[in-house]
Structure 1
Amino acid sequence: MLLLAFPSLGTAMLLLRWITVAVAAVLVSAANTNVAIKAAVDSVDSKMRHAGPTILTLMANQSLSDTTLGRVMTDIGTTWRIAGTTLRATAVSDGSTTTHPTNDDIGTIYGDALLLLSTSLSGIKATGKVPGFPAQVRTLDPIVANATRQLNVTLPNSLVLPSILMRDARQFFLAEGFNQTLASLGF
């Protein structure tokens, strides 16, 4: 169809090249915005460091239910949603391998947050005490996947390290139904 609108293949290719350059210009990095990116990533890591033990306590106290876990899942979802929004509002970073926080610092922290999320929720389905768990996961999964994709846009190639860290722990996301999150990590 594109060829019909232009007198020659060269004209069509020139237009495609122009569009490519225009799109790339939108994604050009502003500077090293890793400090702002790390703040968003720290928020989800911190949330998971509190939510994980809360979930384990609910399980240990035999008080795990749709209601008790639902409150925790809502809180987790809110934190990941805010992180995704914050990352979207942050300029694309040039990143750094030497200035702290480095790209690897951010990747390690994000990978830790994902590991904590996956292992904290591991086994909940098997307890049978939270029949609404699949629905809770269907709500949380796209939120986490969105934040994950946005991190990779704001800090290009930032998911390499978290993907490596998740190679073993991905089994927990798979068992619990976090399909969109796994896809956003390249699994």
Structure 2
Amino acid sequence: MFVARLFSLALVSVACASTLNVRQTTNTNAAIQTILDPLSITTRNVASTISTLQSNHTLSATTLATQLTALENAFKTATTKLAATATSSGSNTTDPVNNDLGDNFGDSIQLVATSLSGITAQGSVSNFASQMTTLDPITAAAVTQFNKTAPLSFNIVHILMLDAQQFLTAEGLTATRTALGFT
């Protein structure tokens, strides 16, 4: 009788089991930081260039497309490399600490949101909405992968985006906004 119950319990637990993401017991924050640094550099350069183009009244669909391609490539590269990196156990004592990663990645997302915020009001890019439909799933995928690879760092990204999330909504980056945990 006992064996039958034990066998039934084992059968039920196997039937109900689902795939779980394995948590790595190793702190891979340093590897993650090396992925985020080039992304940060690209987003800073693009944000600066977009601001300059707006100030000089030379922003157009073509000049913006060039900048968006740079962003898309940087976020795709980061997503791919993060996916190939083991999930980090994180650390609050060994550099880079969890908040360092969150600050770095959050800053990149904030730069995307804020650098694009004035384009609609300026009205110089007629196909802005369609350009955002290409960028949005790419940045959303990066956010999702960052959360998987550095789960202990993600909360700071969400906190950093509390104010800037309004720009994501205004720009039509709704998948990115959702990936950040906003409804």
> Same fold judged by TM-score > 0.5?
yes
1:183 to 169, 178, 182: 178
Contact kept in structure 1, 2:114 and 2:167, CA below 8 Å:
yes
Higher alpha-carbon deviation: 77-86 or 30-39 = 30-39
Partners of 1:30 and 1:91 within 8 A in 2: no
Is structure 2 residue 43 aligned with structure 1 residue 48?
Answer: yes
Amino acid at match of 1:93: S
Aligned sequence identity (%): 41
Candidates 158, 162, 168, aligned match of 1:163: 158
Match of 1:4 in 2: none
**C-alpha distance in 1 between matches for 2:171 and 2:63:** 18
Q: Which runs of 5+ in 2 are unaligned?
A: 1-6
User: SS of the counterpart of 1:131?
Assistant: coil
Match of 2:123 in 1: 128
Alignment of 1:64-143 (within 5 A): 64-143=59-138
Following superposition, the deviation at residue 158 of structure 1 comes to: 2.4
- Number of aligned residue pairs: give it: 176
- What letter matches 1:59 in structure 2? Q
CA 1:181–1:9: 2 relative to 1, 3 Å: farther
Stretches (4+) displaced over 4 A: none
Match of 2:12 in 1: 13
In 2: Cα distance, 1:16 partner to 1:106 partner: 38
CA deviation map 1:87-123 (0-9, x unaligned): 0000111111110001111001111111111110001
Q: Deviations over 1:129-151 (max 9, x none)?
A: 11111111110111111011001
Contact 1:48 1:113 in 2 (8 A): yes
Q: How far does residue 16 in structure 1 lie from its aligned partner after superposition?
A: 3.8
Deviation at 1:157, TM superposition (A): 3.6
Partners of 1:73 and 1:27 in 2: CA distance: 34
The aligned residue for residue 3 of structure 1 is: none
TM-score normalised by length of structure 1: 0.88
Equivalent AA in structure 2 for residue 34 of structure 1: N
The TM-score with structure 2 as length reference comes to 0.90
Alignment-derived partner of residue 27 in structure 1:
22
Q: CA deviation at 1:28?
A: 2.6
The corresponding residue for 2:4 is: none
